[in-house]
Structure 1
Amino acid sequence: MRLEFRQAAPEDLPRWLTFLGAVLLIALGVIALDAAGVQICLFRRWTGLPCLTCGGTRAFAALATGDVIGAFRQQPLVSALLTVGAAAGAIHGLLLLCGRCLTLKTSERERRALLLVVVVLAVANWLYLLWRWRSA
């Protein structure tokens, strides 16, 4: 696995800004629905069990107010992804403003290993959420 710098292409900045705008709009929509008391998760509505990302909205709100420990207690996987994603997005944005880009190069074997890690983390996170739900 290698991180490589390259010269930013003319379309890189508009793509990044579009992605950033979409993420912000989705986050605002989910927060507004959650604040209105709408149960967004169909899995939880149908089964009564927490889904893989249950608590993600509350974790996002906790991170936004600076309660990092509360966010990770609420939803560890989403909190980690949001934290890493925010840092990566900020770094990528700064690099784009400087005319550079960062690219991750992986082999097929590394992609399979990453997929396995993602699946294991997702299952571990879900088991944590189920344990937390049962003990509540």
Structure 2
Amino acid sequence: MKLTWHRPVRGDFDHERLWGGVILLAAVTMLVWFGLFALPTPSCLFKESTGLPCPTCGSTRAVEALLSGKFGASLRLNPMVPAGAVLVSLYLCYAVVVVVFRLPRARLQIDDGMWWALLSIASAGFLGVWIYVVFDGR
């Protein structure tokens, strides 16, 4: 795995601009959905059809709790939400800084063996959260 810094040139795909925009759009949507209009929480189609909670069950309520400042409640509902919120916030800060100040962009070069290791770790984490959600009784 190797981290390099790349100054964008015309025609390069701008990940920071794209994903920063997606994150901002998602954040505004959540704030409008939960804060401004207080719309109902969508139901989980997986749980409705199988009777089992999906790995992301509790995420919507965890986001609501996080937006209300209830970090502990958010963590109990689904541990992926606060962890993901921290990572997404850090990426958004990075993306805004490099886009606004036209700084070089970080690029991670990962070899095939490392991809499999990262995929295995992510899968194990996802499975662990699902087991937590299933046995927590949601």
Please say whether Structure 1 and Structure 2 have the same fold, judged by a TM-score greater than 0.5: yes
Shift of 1:99: 1.1
Secondary structure at 2:137 match in 1 = helix
Count how many residue pairs are aligned between Structure 1 and Structure 2.
133
Distance 1:123 1:43, change over 3 A: same
Listed one character per residue, the Cα deviations across residues 35-82 of structure 1 (whole Å, up to 9, x for unaligned) are: 42542x210111222111011111112222222222111101232122
Runs of 4+ in 1 over 3 A off after TM superposition: 8-11, 24-32
Listed one character per residue, the Cα deviations across residues 1-51 of structure 1 (whole Å, up to 9, x for unaligned) are: 23322213456264245423443366468759x842542x21011122211
Contact (CA 8 Å) 1:59, 1:75: kept in 2 or not?
yes
**Unpaired segments of 5 or more residues in structure 2?**
none
Kindly report the root-mean-square deviation, in angstroms, between the aligned alpha carbons of the 2 structures: 2.7
What's the counterpart of residue 64 of structure 2? 61
Listed one character per residue, the Cα deviations across residues 73-126 of structure 1 (whole Å, up to 9, x for unaligned) are: 110123212221121121222122121212222111111100000110011100
TM-score normalised according to structure 2 size? 0.78
| Cα separation, 2, equivalents of 1:119 and 1:30 | 30
| Cα separation, 1, equivalents of 2:51 and 2:31 | 25
- Residues 1-136 of structure 1 correspond to what in structure 2 (within 5 A)? 1-9=1-9, 12=14, 14-24=17-27, 27=30, 31=34, 35-39=39-43, 41-100=44-103, 101-133=105-137
| Cα separation, 2, equivalents of 1:18 and 1:118 | 24
Shift of 1:128: 0.3
Same amino acid, percent of matched pairs: 25
Matched AA of 1:44: K
Contact (CA 8 Å) 1:92, 1:102: kept in 2 or not?
no
TM-score normalised according to structure 1 size? 0.79
Higher helix share: 1
